């Protein structure tokens, strides 16, 4: 799907954003494209908007990327790429002229990879030279490890069962060609829920493997990911062992089933009693850099509800928070050193019939061209049995596609030097 141009838009901050979107969308039976940023958690999990008694919030800083909490638009042009057809829809243009313009356009090349051992080089668009971009971790490795220990103590006290803890790597000033970098990211890490998303000077370059929520008719589908193992593609036998080990991993199964239970609870609020089912549990799926453990939860939506009700009841997604959701959102706010912004939110579209499909914004670069701020975040699910060193390494594995897209093979993109 592609959507370009905006004949109508809706923007809102957390507080009354979902109610406003519901009212705005009700009068527009058209394609709608847009996003839900993670900070809408302050609206959907209101008790999590402030720290618990005796705690202080660590993530009081503003989001340097600057995407609004919620944004949707009615596109001027939509293009649907199907198996044997390309469908072009326009509100004020001739589809034939759109096709002619596309046919006469030569795509810009993907960003070339830098030489092994060098800093990642990113083409700056109009210039033929390359500007090195080196990422800095927002949280030092030792602080990350001590934070995981602190979260394990919360779990031991019974505050929560599992929490998704994320860390940011950033570069500023950074001059990049967002489209060239996104093509490089897509080549390095092709994924089913990838997205190139732009609002003015703000860009999301997303290579997500995860679906948040899909609606077809009255049926809802959620596919949370919990459980990651690195690929060993140069050794097929070792690669198979990695896959088998992930499937048998007690820790990853425990993480996955906790999130599945959380999704079941979310969907039960808006689905017919008895209709919520786990159609697949602990499925192992193959991606370019990793194996992922994915489960599928389905349900039949109650009659009379709006599509926005389905999103609101499930947001933010359990795979990026933990359980119980309200308490872990508090702890995320306390311990993470960066605002998540659009990261771990959702980007997608709504059809004129009210069906929709939204991803989970992970494995992504975010860029503000005005402030020249470039960022990505990675995280992992923490349980009492988590090993801090292993969790840190899992974060690096999840960023492998970004490292390759940035032409980095020496660890520079992860602040390891």
Q: Where are the alpha helices (DSSP H) in 172-302?
A: 178-188, 236-248, 250-268
- 297-322 burial by CB neighbour count: b if 16+ within 10 A, else e? bbbbbeeeebbbbbbbbbbbbbbbbb
Half-sphere exposure of 10 (CA within 13 A, CB side): 21
CA distance 374 to 391: 24
Please state, in angstroms and rounded to a whole number, the distance separating the CA atoms of residues 417 and 408.
Answer: 12
Nearest Cα to Cα of residue 404 among 190, 193, 221? 190
Q: How far apart are CA 260 and CA 220, in angstroms?
A: 14
Active site residue 210: yes
CA torsion sign for 295, 356, 39, 168 is positive
* DSSP conformational letter for 301: B
Q: Are 291 and 228 in contact (CB under 8 A)?
A: yes
The tokens describing 222, both together, are: 């959620």
Q: Which residue has the tokens 């810009």?
A: 108
If you search the block for the tokens 């390309």, which residue do you land on? 86
Residue reference for tokens 């690929």: 231
**Rounded Cα gap, residues 103 and 249, in angstroms:** 49
Catalytic residue among 214, 226, 398, 404: 226
Residue 229 to residue 245: CA distance in whole angstroms: 8
Neighbouring-strand partners of residue 396: none
- Burial pattern 332-342, b for ≥16 Cβ within 10 A else e, equals bbbbbbbbbbb
Residue of 43, 45, 162, 210 marked catalytic: 210
Which of 294, 185, 167, 287 lies closest to 230, judged by CA? Answer: 287
Angle between helices 388-398 and 141-157 (to 10 degrees): 120
Q: Which residues are catalytic?
A: 210, 226
């Amino acid at each position: 799907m592609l959507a370009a141009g905006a004949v109508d838009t809706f923007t809102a901050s957390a507080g009354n954003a979902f109610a406003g979107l519901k009212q705005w969308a009700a009068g527009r039976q058209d394609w709608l494209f847009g996003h839900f940023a993670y900070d809408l958690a302050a609206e959907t999990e209101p008790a999590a908007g402030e720290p618990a008694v005796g705690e202080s919030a660590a993530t009081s800083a503003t989001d340097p990327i600057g995407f609004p909490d919620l944004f949707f638009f009615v596109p001027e042009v939509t293009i649907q790429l199907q198996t044997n057809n390309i469908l072009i829809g326009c509100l004020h243009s001739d589809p034939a002229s759109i096709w002619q313009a596309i046919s006469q356009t030569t795509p810009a090349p993907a960003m070339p990879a830098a030489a092994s051992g060098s800093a990642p080089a990113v083409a700056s668009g109009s210039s033929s030279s390359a500007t090195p971009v080196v990422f800095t971790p927002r949280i030092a490795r030792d602080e990350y490890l001590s934070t995981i220990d602190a979260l394990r103590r919360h779990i031991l006290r019974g505050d929560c069962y599992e929490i998704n803890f994320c860390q940011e790597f950033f570069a500023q000033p950074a001059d990049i060609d967002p489209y060239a970098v996104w093509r490089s990211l897509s080549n390095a890490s092709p994924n089913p829920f990838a997205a190139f998303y732009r609002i003015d000077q703000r860009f999301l370059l997303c290579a997500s493997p995860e679906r948040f929520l899909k609606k077809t008719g009255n049926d809802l589908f959620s596919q949370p990911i919990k459980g990651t193992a690195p690929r060993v593609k140069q050794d097929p036998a070792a690669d198979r062992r990695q896959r088998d080990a992930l499937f048998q991993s007690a820790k990853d199964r425990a993480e996955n089933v906790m999130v599945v239970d959380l999704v079941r609870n979310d969907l039960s609020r808006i689905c017919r009693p008895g209709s919520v089912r786990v159609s697949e549990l602990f499925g192992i799926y193959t991606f370019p850099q990793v194996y992922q453990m994915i489960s599928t939860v389905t349900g039949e939506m109650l009659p009379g509800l709006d599509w926005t009700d389905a999103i609101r009841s499930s947001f933010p997604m359990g795979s990026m928070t933990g359980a119980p959701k309200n308490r872990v959102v508090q702890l995320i706010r306390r311990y993470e050193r960066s605002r998540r912004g659009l990261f771990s939110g959702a980007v997608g579209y709504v059809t004129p019939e009210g069906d929709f499909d939204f991803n989970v914004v992970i494995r992504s670069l975010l860029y503000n061209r005005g402030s020249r701020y470039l960022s990505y975040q990675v995280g992992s699910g923490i349980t009492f049995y988590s090993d801090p060193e292993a969790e840190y390494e899992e974060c690096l594995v999840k960023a492998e596609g970004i490292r390759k897209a940035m032409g980095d093979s020496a660890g520079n993109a992860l602040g390891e030097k």
